[in-house]
Amino acid sequence: MDFWEWYDRNFLAAKQHDVPIYELDWLVLRLTDLDKLDLRLRSPSISQKITSETLANLDQLWQKRLIDRIPVQYLSGSVTWRDLELRVSTAVLIPRPETELIIDIIVDFVNNNSQDEIYKNGIWADLGSGSGAIAIALAQHFLNIKSQAQIHAVDYSEAALELAKINANKNHQQVYFHQGSWFEPLAKLNLQNQIAGIVSNPPYIPSIEVLNLQPEVTNHEPHLALDGGDDGLDAIRELVNTAPQYLLSGGFWIVELMAGQAEIVRSLLQANGNYTNIKIHQDYAEIDRFVSANRK
Ligand SMILES: C[S@@+](CC[C@H](N)C(=O)[O-])C[C@H]1O[C@@H](n2cnc3c(N)ncnc32)[C@H](O)[C@@H]1O
């Protein structure tokens, strides 16, 4: 079959299966040497650039997208997040665009407190690091500003850590990875009262909702990365309650959450009594997505 015949047929199939049509372009661009202009110009000569093996491979993957509802990022095994190229597999959550903002909030905070060496040159921890996206982007920022910050990343999943290590190497960043539950690895490293910043995008979806998300998420993304217990707040409560033992005075705390959780998390931080400067931050869709605070 000719490439354009295949493309047009599957463009229609995407609509019929309610899959965003830009995902067809996304997969073609990831798995071939074509660029966006090649697709836009619809040049007939493109067909010669695509071998029958490549077309068969594309077709096989695209059918998995349409029928099995496997996200295109898992099919290609890669994603661009901020300016990082990350490998992904079903061992890790696909890093989301809105999570990119957590880095901007941290960078703003560090810039606004640049006189304070503890942030630029201190120890930072990314708890629940998955593909390593947040930890690697933080390491990249601190490397760019020539600071001495040290980044530790923790995940419970060995498989996620394997991939995160590959991603750190691929992006030439130094991150110290540890397996364990939340603060356990930090305790083993005796990092009590020593951490300048704790950042986390923890599982925060109530257990019952995890079963009723889009099939792409419910059937393919790791539930360990999604399931936040009965009310979605199990991991967040742990992060609120235990972080004060590890943060330096003034240490920064920031967590991602889902719509509707921000005011609850603000109350948890206030009730804990060890936090000040509590702030809610919105994402691109103006949803309250992050809460930050400082250790008193
Ligand atoms: C929502 S994902 C976030 C992944 C990545 N930080 C990101 O933003 O794309 C949550 C991560 O927390 C990890 N996790 C779940 N329970 C954990 C625990 N008890 N201790 C450490 N990590 C845990 C999961 O394996 C998953 O990688």
Q: Domain with 193 in it: what CATH number?
A: 3.40.50.150
Assess if residue 251 is contained within a domain. yes
Assess if residue 30 is contained within a domain. yes
Q: Take atom 7 of ligand 1 and give the residue whose Cα is closest.
A: 95
pLDDT at 271: 98
Q: How far is the CA of 200 from the centre of ligand 1 (A)?
A: 8
Are 123 and 270 in a shared domain?
yes
Q: Take atom 11 of ligand 1 and give the residue whose Cα is closest.
A: 128
Are 281 and 187 in a shared domain?
yes
Strands 288-295 and 150-155, bridge-based pairing: unpaired
Assess if residue 82 is contained within a domain. no
Q: Take atom 18 of ligand 1 and give the residue whose Cα is closest.
A: 181
Across the beta sheet with 123-127, the strand order is 176-179, 150-155, 123-127, 195-200, 247-256, 288-295, 275-282
Q: Take atom 17 of ligand 1 and give the residue whose Cα is closest.
A: 156
Assess if residue 76 is contained within a domain. no
Are 17 and 130 in a shared domain?
no
Q: How far is the CA of 204 from the centre of ligand 1 (A)?
A: 10
Q: How far is the CA of 187 from the centre of ligand 1 (A)?
A: 18
Among residues 250, 295, 291, the alpha carbon closest in space to that of 105 is found at 291
pLDDT at 44: 78
Q: How far is the CA of 77 from the centre of ligand 1 (A)?
A: 19
Q: How far is the CA of 189 from the centre of ligand 1 (A)?
A: 20
Assess if residue 80 is contained within a domain. no
Are 59 and 106 in a shared domain?
no
Are 198 and 248 in a shared domain?
yes
Q: Which residues does ligand 1 sit against, CB inside 6 Å?
A: 92-93, 95, 99, 128-131, 133-134, 154-157, 160, 181-182, 201-203, 224-225
181-190: which pairs have CB atoms within 8 A and are 24 or more residues apart? 181/156, 182/127, 182/128, 182/154, 182/235, 182/238, 182/239, 182/242, 183/127, 183/154, 183/238, 183/242, 183/243, 183/245, 183/246, 184/154, 185/152, 185/154, 186/125, 186/152, 186/154, 186/246, 189/152
Q: How far is the CA of 251 from the centre of ligand 1 (A)?
A: 21
Q: Which helix (H) or strand (E) holds 242?
A: helix 234-246
Q: How far is the CA of 241 from the centre of ligand 1 (A)?
A: 17
Are 113 and 23 in a shared domain?
no
Contact 130, 160 (CB under 8 A): yes
Are 62 and 102 in a shared domain?
no
Assess if residue 77 is contained within a domain. no
Q: Take atom 13 of ligand 1 and give the residue whose Cα is closest.
A: 128
The per-residue b/e assignment along 159-191, b for 16 or more CB within 10 angstroms, e otherwise, is ebbebbeebbeebebebbbbeeebbebbeeeeb
Contact 261, 232 (CB under 8 A): yes
Number of domains in the chain: 2
Assess if residue 73 is contained within a domain. no
pLDDT at 24: 96
Are 191 and 225 in a shared domain?
yes
Sheet strands (E) in 60-109: 78-81, 84-87
Question: Degrees (nearest 5) of the Cα angle 66, 67, 68?
Answer: 105
Assess if residue 266 is contained within a domain. yes
pLDDT at 193: 98
Q: Take atom 9 of ligand 1 and give the residue whose Cα is closest.
A: 95
Strands 288-295 and 275-282, bridge-based pairing: antiparallel
Are 56 and 113 in a shared domain?
no
147-to-133, 167, 177, 195 alpha-carbon distances in Å: 19, 21, 20, 16
Are 51 and 124 in a shared domain?
no
Are 217 and 118 in a shared domain?
yes
pLDDT at 46: 80
Name residues of the chain where pLDDT drops below 50: none
Q: Which helix (H) or strand (E) holds 124?
A: strand 123-127
Are 61 and 142 in a shared domain?
no
What is the residue range of 119's domain? 91-295
